[in-house]
Amino acid sequence: MRLSICMATFNRAAFIGRTLDSIVHQAPDDVEIVIVDGGSSDNTKEVVSGYGKRFPGIRYLRQEKNMGVDRDFNTAVEMSRGDYCWLMSDDDVLKPGAIRRVLEATERGHGLIVVNAEVRDAALGKVLDAKRLRIDADRLYRADENARFFEDVAGYLTFIGCVVIKSGIWKSRDREPYFGSLFIHVGVIFQQPVPGDILVIAAPLVSIRYGNALWTARGFEIWMFKWPDLVWSFPGLPETAKRRVVPREPWRDASTLLTYRAIGAYSGAEYDKWLKTRFSSNGERFPAWAIARFPGTLLNLLGLLYFSLFHPESRMPLTDMLNSRFCLLRIFRGRGR
Residues 45-81: pLDDT tens digits? 999 999 988 899 999 999 988 999 999 999 999 999 9
Instruction: For residue range 239-286, list pLDDT tens digits in order.
Output: 999 999 999 999 999 999 999 999 999 999 999 999 999 999 999 999
Q: Is the pLDDT of residue 305 over 70?
A: yes
Q: Rounded to whole angstroms, how far apart are CA atoms 25 and 294?
A: 50
Cβ(199)–Cβ(148) below 8 Å: no
Average pLDDT of the segment spanning 112-135: 97
Q: Is the pLDDT of residue 206 over 70?
A: yes
Residue 223 corresponds to which amino acid? Answer: W
Instruction: For residue range 12-32, list pLDDT tens digits in order.
Output: 999 999 999 999 999 998 999
Position 216 scores a pLDDT of 63
Position 332 scores a pLDDT of 67
Q: Helices marked H in 116-247 — which ranges?
A: 146-153, 167-172, 184-190, 219-221, 227-231, 239-245
- Residue 107 CB-half CA count within 13 A: 6
Position 329 scores a pLDDT of 80
- Spatial CB neighbours of 24, under 8 Å, sequence gap ≥ 6: 33, 51, 54, 55, 58
- The chain-wide mean pLDDT, for the chain, equals 95
Map out the domains of the chain with their CATH numbers.
3-209 (3.90.550.10), 216-335 (no CATH)
Position 139 scores a pLDDT of 98
Length of the chain (residues)? 337
Q: What pTM was computed for the model?
A: 0.94
